[in-house]
Amino acid sequence: ELRGHVLEACKCPHANHVLQKIILLLPASSLQFIVDELMAGVIAQMVRHKYGCRIIQRLVEHCRASQVQKLVEIALKDIPALSRHPYGTYVIQNILQHGTHEHRRRILAAVIKGIRVLGAESNGCAVVSAALSYGLDRDRYALAQVVLREHGLLCFLANSRHGHTAAMRALDLLTGDDQEVARARLRAQDALLRHSRYGRIVVEYMEAGSSDQLFLSAASRAGA
């Protein structure tokens, strides 16, 4: 019986798996006690916890948006800091993928505002990549333009483990002259990119032509 022990289970290296399984199997209406007990605790700590962050993600994925609205609002109070946190970054990425349009737009706005800091840090790069992958097309396009305008950022992303997927997504989103400028900047750094495992993936992606199938193939190779 987990009622009354949700917070303990969230922090336990073994019980958190049981709790995740319950969230996956039960209907959303039966998960309210988990949300309630979390809300009675300290959400800001839970989204930064090694195991607790997993429970937050499963709830966002499987509960109704109205059920986790307050929980997500608390999580999004400091988007830049959470994006750079080793566990909090996964919560932000998860909300980008499974959250409401409003939550996505709030994260996109924060990413655009803090692109210089987020783009320079590993966990932040992963959030930039997720922000370029999910949400409304116009918001993702606006972020891609910001990446292009920020001096040296596109090439820096292309050379990094988490950033190279962001570089490829930006290339896909940009159009016309913007896309040509982006490709020219990357081609100008061809030698540098080819000396990097992730840079080579971006170069090959450009040479092969972009598509969702090629993106997934490139991302899979990077994770191998």
Helices (H), the chain: 6-11, 15-25, 32-39, 43-46, 52-62, 65-75, 79-84, 88-98, 101-113, 115-118, 122-133, 137-149, 153-158, 163-173, 176-188, 190-194, 197-208, 212-223
**Alpha-carbon span 29 to 154, nearest angstrom:** 44
The pLDDT assigned to 214 comes to 57
The pLDDT assigned to 221 comes to 58
pTM reported for the whole predicted model: 0.90
pLDDT in tens, the chain (224 residues): 678 899 999 999 999 999 999 999 999 999 999 999 999 888 999 999 999 999 999 999 999 999 999 999 999 999 999 999 999 999 999 999 999 999 999 999 999 999 999 999 999 999 999 999 998 899 999 999 999 999 999 999 999 999 999 999 999 999 999 999 999 999 999 999 999 999 999 999 998 876 555 555 655 555 54
Residue type, 61: E
